[in-house]
Amino acid sequence: MTNQEKNTSDRKEILALYDISQIINSIPDFEELLSKVMDLVISTTRAERGFMMLRDTPQEEMSVKVARNLEQKDIDNPGEISQTTLNQVLETGEPLLTSDAKTDPRFTGSESVMLYNIRSVLCTPLKKQNEIIGLIYIDSRTTSNVFTDDDKAFLAAFANMAAISIENARLQARLRQENLILKKEIRHHYQFDNIVGKSAKFLAALSLVERVLDSTVPVLIQGESGTGKELIARAIHYNGPRREAMFLAQYCGALPETLLESELFGYKKGSFTGATANKTGLFEEADGGTFFLDEIGDISPTIQAKLLRVLQDGEMRRIGENKSIRVDVRIISATNRNLKQEVAEGRFREDLYYRLNVVTIDLPPLRERRDDIPLLIHYFLENSQQAAAKKISDLTREAKEAMAGYYWPGNIRELENVISYAIVMTKGSIIGVEDLPGSVLSHKPQAEPVATGKTMHQMELDYILSTLKACQGDRKRTANQLGISLRTLQYKLKELKQDGHALEK
Ligand SMILES: Nc1ncnc2c1ncn2[C@@H]1O[C@H](COP(=O)(O)OP(=O)(O)OP(=O)(O)O)[C@@H](O)[C@H]1O
Ligand SMILES: [Mg+2]
């Protein structure tokens, strides 16, 4: 090799190393990456044929994944590869170079060398740390191109980088696959078959849900605690055209205004003490997707104004920033208060109210859809792993009657909790009355609101107060009894205070 030839070949090798470092993350398709890696090796070493062997899992045998020739074509029938070479590389973990296979004593009697007249062979392992994940093998029959020690050094360096890119691509493919499966699971969870209910009121709500799926109109979901507001919001997202994009939710009740504002809109670094870095708000993160504003009735006038801007102009501004950004989010909001009344009483902006509730979906409380109680009981039993493990499939007649007659202030969430509780308590294969929590049993059906002439809302508040009293003011226990979260209870208590009730400790 003349000096000039050597320089050209060194340059080519450096370029090939550069190329492989470039393609490490740029070729998402695994097969394409392997072909590209082989083509780079062949063109740099002027090999006639090149093979890459990989194992799919550490336990498996290696198999040929790509076979390419100098014309950058796949070789249909790769024929034999020098098994002797492969075995040696696998055993030693070191690259192997044979410049003249015919005279090399290590190849005596090697059929493949005889058969294909192979002159020169170079093989190097692909390693992940110390484990050999594959091999790169090149050969040549011409005397004019015999591999050299330089080729060997190049291929060893190249293989190190190729191994990283192959592992990377495999990992990415696996993550993509996993992600697809998870997304499918989520979507399945929010399919309509998993939204249980056949009562007329509930079906009316569902039919509205179906009608808003394909549009981006804002939807307001109203319903008491535990009636399925979030479930419906997610169902709208995961069954609509935005299902591949993000669904983000923010609870807006009982949060300090500044905290909520920074969560929703983000801020610019330095805009207030503590803003040590820029922060992306949730509206920006949900761009292209759906944003669920839970307990919207609680938001402050400042946030109401900012939200109105998002709804009106599709624009928002980070705190401390003077430039606006365009965001495309579908807004679904939920409240367990009567938002119209909030407007009437001047606590909620009327213009925002009309923007939010282009469509309102009212979710009925469970006591107004009692026909659905047995369906829900069976749904939760069937979906409980614990019930499956204990082989619990039903309730006694008395237990069913107690469930059917109960007031269900915590609605479906409470029913779900009661079933979980009963599954833990029961010793047999059928849930009996004795397995139900005291709250369900102590309730007397005659206390239904019909008899009192009170509204549902008053009834609910009365019920909370009496439970609180029975629990000697212990809020945690009261929330448990009611089957609602502590947060919801606190929120309801705040409402009571506003209504002028004196809360006993
Ligand atoms: N129709 C339904 N079918 C099956 N499960 C339901 C149904 N409605 C609600 N659930 C389940 O009940 C629980 C409470 O629902 P969700 O959280 O959507 O209620 P919510 O109205 O948002 O309550 P809160 O006001 O307390 O936030 C969830 O586990 C949900 O999956
Ligand atoms: Mg909720």
For ligand 1, the distance from its centroid to the CA atom of residue 228, given in whole angstroms, is 3
Instruction: Please check the confidence at residue 356 and state whether its pLDDT lies above 60.
Output: yes
Give the number of whichever ligand sits closest to the CA of residue 193: 1
pLDDT band at 447 (very low <50, low <70, confident <90, very high): very low
- If one residue of 413, 414, 495 were mutated to test the ligand 1 pocket, choosing by the most ligand atoms within 8 A of its CB, it would be 413
For ligand 1, the distance from its centroid to the CA atom of residue 415, given in whole angstroms, is 10
Which contiguous run of DSSP H or E holds residue 123? Answer: strand 120-128
Q: Which two tokens stand for residue 184?
A: 């499918």
For ligand 2, the distance from its centroid to the CA atom of residue 296, given in whole angstroms, is 11
Return the sign of the alpha-carbon dihedral for residues 57, 180, 163, 62.
positive
Name the CATH topology of 195-362: Rossmann fold (3.40.50)
pLDDT at 283: 95
Q: What amino acid is encoded at 250 in this protein?
A: Q
Q: Which residue has the higher pLDDT, 143 or 244?
A: 244
pLDDT at 500: 64
CATH of the domain spanning 367-498:
1.10.8.60
pLDDT at 446: 43
DSSP-derived pairing of the beta strands 49-54 and 131-140: antiparallel
Q: What is the number of the ligand 1 atom nearest to the C-alpha of 412?
A: 12
For ligand 1, the distance from its centroid to the CA atom of residue 411, given in whole angstroms, is 8
**134 vs 159: CA distance, rounded Å:** 10
Radius of gyration for the alpha carbons in the chain, expressed in angstroms and rounded: 34
Mean of the pLDDT values across residues 128-132? 87
Q: Are 229 and 223 in contact (CB under 8 A)?
A: yes
Q: Which residue has the higher pLDDT, 444 or 470?
A: 470
For ligand 1, the distance from its centroid to the CA atom of residue 121, given in whole angstroms, is 67
pLDDT at 505: 42
The 10s digit of each residue's pLDDT in 369-385 is: 999 999 999 999 999 98
Instruction: Please check the confidence at residue 452 and state whether its pLDDT lies above 60.
Output: no
Chain centroid to Cα 1, Å, comes to 58
pLDDT averaged over the chain? Answer: 87
Total-model pTM = 0.67
Q: Which residue has the higher pLDDT, 482 or 6?
A: 482
Least confident of 25-29, 209-213, 396-400: 25-29
Mean of the pLDDT values across residues 241-268? 92
Instruction: Please check the confidence at residue 451 and state whether its pLDDT lies above 50.
Output: no
* Residue 413 in contact with ligand 1 by CB distance below 6 A: yes
* Residue 412 in contact with ligand 1 by CB distance below 6 A: yes
Instruction: Please check the confidence at residue 344 and state whether its pLDDT lies above 50.
Output: yes
Q: Are 221 and 227 in contact (CB under 8 A)?
A: no
Query: Considering only CA atoms, which residue is closest to atom 8 of ligand 1?
Result: 228
Least confident of 103-112, 137-146, 328-337: 103-112
411: alpha, beta or left, given left = phi > 0 and alpha = psi -120 to 50?
A: left
pLDDT at 374: 96
Q: What are phi and psi of 361, to 5 degrees?
A: -110, 120
**71 vs 83: CA distance, rounded Å:** 25
User: What spatial distance separates the first Cα and last Cα of the chain, rounded to whole Å?
Assistant: 96
Residue 256 exposed, middle or buried by CB count within 10 Å (0-12, 13-18, 19+)? exposed
* Residue 196 in contact with ligand 1 by CB distance below 6 A: yes
For ligand 1, the distance from its centroid to the CA atom of residue 413, given in whole angstroms, is 6
Mean of the pLDDT values across residues 394-417? 94
Mean of the pLDDT values across residues 308-329? 94
Domain ranges of the chain: 3-175, 195-362, 367-498
Highest mean pLDDT among 28-42, 350-364, 430-444, 491-505: 350-364
Look at the chain and count its residues.
505
Query: Considering only CA atoms, which residue is closest to atom 18 of ligand 1?
Result: 228
- If one residue of 188, 202, 207, 230 were mutated to test the ligand 1 pocket, choosing by the most ligand atoms within 8 A of its CB, it would be 230
Q: What is the number of the ligand 1 atom nearest to the C-alpha of 232?
A: 18
pLDDT at 23: 73
Query: Considering only CA atoms, which residue is closest to atom 25 of ligand 1?
Result: 225
Least confident of 164-178, 299-313, 319-333: 164-178
pLDDT at 114: 57
The 10s digit of each residue's pLDDT in 454-488 is: 667 777 788 888 888 777 788 888 888 887 888 88
pLDDT band at 307 (very low <50, low <70, confident <90, very high): very high
The 10s digit of each residue's pLDDT in 52-111 is: 999 888 788 888 899 988 877 887 766 677 788 888 899 999 999 988 777 777 766 655
Tell which CATH classification among 3.40.50.970, 3.40.50.10490, 3.30.450.40, 3.40.1160.10 matches the domain 3-175: 3.30.450.40
**Closest Cα partner for 461 from 504, 412, 487, 497?**
497
Q: Is 425 helix (H, G, I), strand (E, B) or coil?
A: helix
Mean of the pLDDT values across residues 43-50? 88
pLDDT at 107: 67
Instruction: Please check the confidence at residue 501 and state whether its pLDDT lies above 70.
Output: no
pLDDT band at 129 (very low <50, low <70, confident <90, very high): confident
Report the percent of the chain where pLDDT is more than 70.
92
Report the percent of the chain where pLDDT is more than 90.
49
Q: What is the number of the ligand 1 atom nearest to the C-alpha of 234?
A: 18
